[in-house]
Structure 1
Amino acid sequence: MTQYNSTNLSESLKVYFIMGSMNCRKSPEEVLSEAIAGGITMFQFREKGPDALTGDAQFELARRLQQICRLNSVPFIVNDDIDLAIALDADGIHVGQDDEPARSIRQQIGEKKIVGVSAHTLEEAQQAMADGADYLGIGPIYPTTSKDDAKEVQGTKIIEELRDHGLTIPLVGIGGITLTNATPVLTAGADGISVISAIAAADDISGTVKDFVRVVRGHILELRRLKA
């Protein structure tokens, strides 16, 4: 497995696709393959909700999606489920504030795996970092219908606050991010954007991802121009 550091992890977070079977209008394997063809930089398997798969069906889907990621050198992250992440030898796991603490997760999966933590306040971010998180998912930035348990909308101000307090840990914005509102998330200080429905429900998945990649690359080029 690739050993991730803050630099290449920041690159992996640029266009971070999150998806489970209930987000897809066609087979999850097709959706993921098309998203990879478009240029996603990381994938998170999030199988949650009323129609989510469980048990062996969930495991087998996760295994198939992981194989697609491995064949294309895309990091494969499991949402919340530490047992599933360990069973699959996933590249990492992402947990929320109501899940097992990052410190405990780290003890179970070791130092070489990626641990992401959702954070909604400066205090939560600082605690996650102290517990060994590799990156933070910040949001929801905008209103979202993809998560039934979404917290209160934050806007981009929380990302700005974290950067203003000197936090250099990789940050990825999440929640209601689309092609038309992604740039302010990056401008606020996020290393990348995480997307569920704007990609999974797109008519042209590969083309939509390519558009997201162009937005991110355009922002990076603009930053370089301003620094020159």
Structure 2
Amino acid sequence: MFSNSFLPIAAPLKFYAVVPSADWVARMVDAGANTVQLRNKTAIGSTLYREIERSVAYAKDSPTQLFINDFWWEAIDCGAYGVHLGQEDLESADLVMIQSAGLRLGVSTHSTDELIKALAVKPSYVACGAVFPTKTKAMSSQPQGLDKLRQYVIQAGSTPTVAIGGIDLSNAREVLATGVSSLAVVRAVTEAAEPEKTVKAFQTLWQE
């Protein structure tokens, strides 16, 4: 589909926080999260644009790599580092425009076929899930489990892989043992008593 790959990530994705607002993006940047995704499902119009704009400003000049979920046009306009798309968005998004603007691209996958489809556009990374049952959003597919995750890591080859879905500190080590590049979490950080300490606790896993 593309003669060129999307830009590679600048640094290992490692701990990947998926958060609902610009204020949460700011907290994660301040906490030193390696990667953050703004996934705002409630704001619209100028309110949404402002959330994206603020998020980009918070992450600018920091080591944190910020991805905007779904809203690729706004991500381009605000000068975001990257955009994350679901499978359905691959059909409607202008991938050439995203690529030409210099944004990195992450793509969600939930099966071998979806991973093949995602890898065909030569993204910056692929997300594989849900690994475990999750209450974050309704899933049309069953949890993939660790054995399938290992297969996806092999299938992805040199493309970085992000594991997502039901991951917390109690199972993070066994997920990392599959060879994935990154662990993405939602509730494990947004519902944590001390989110900043949770970020550091996850990050130590890459030092073991």
Interval of TM-score (by shorter of Structure 1 and Structure 2): 0.7 to 0.9
Hey, what does 2:113 align to over in structure 1?
Answer: 123
One of 5, 9, 17 as aligned partner of 2:8 = 5
CA distance in 2, matches of 1:84, 1:90: 9
**Aligned-pair identity (%):** 27
Hey, what does 1:109 align to over in structure 2?
Answer: 98
CA distance in 2, matches of 1:5, 1:110: 11
* Aligned pairs (5 A) from 1:148-227: 148-149=138-139, 151-165=141-155, 167-218=157-208
Amino acid of the residue matched to residue 17 of structure 2?
A: F
Hey, what does 1:39 align to over in structure 2?
Answer: 32
* Aligned pairs (5 A) from 1:47-66: 47-48=40-41, 52-66=42-56
Q: CA deviation at 1:37?
A: 3.2
Question: Normalised by the size of structure 1, how large is the TM-score?
Answer: 0.80
Gaps of 5+ in 1: 22-27, 219-228
Q: CA deviation at 1:100?
A: 2.6
Cα gap change, 1:163 to 1:43, in 2 (>3 Å): closer
Question: RMSD in angstroms over aligned alpha carbons?
Answer: 2.1
3-state SS, counterpart of residue 216 of structure 1 = helix
* Aligned pairs (5 A) from 1:50-89: 52-89=42-79
How many residues matched?
202
Equivalent residues of 1:38, 1:208 under 8 A apart: no
Q: CA deviation at 1:166?
A: 6.6
Q: CA deviation at 1:61?
A: 1.5
3-state SS, counterpart of residue 128 of structure 1 = helix
CA distance in 2, matches of 1:53, 1:174: 23
Q: CA deviation at 1:74?
A: 1.7
CA distance in 1, matches of 2:154, 2:81: 30
Equivalent residues of 1:17, 1:42 under 8 A apart: yes
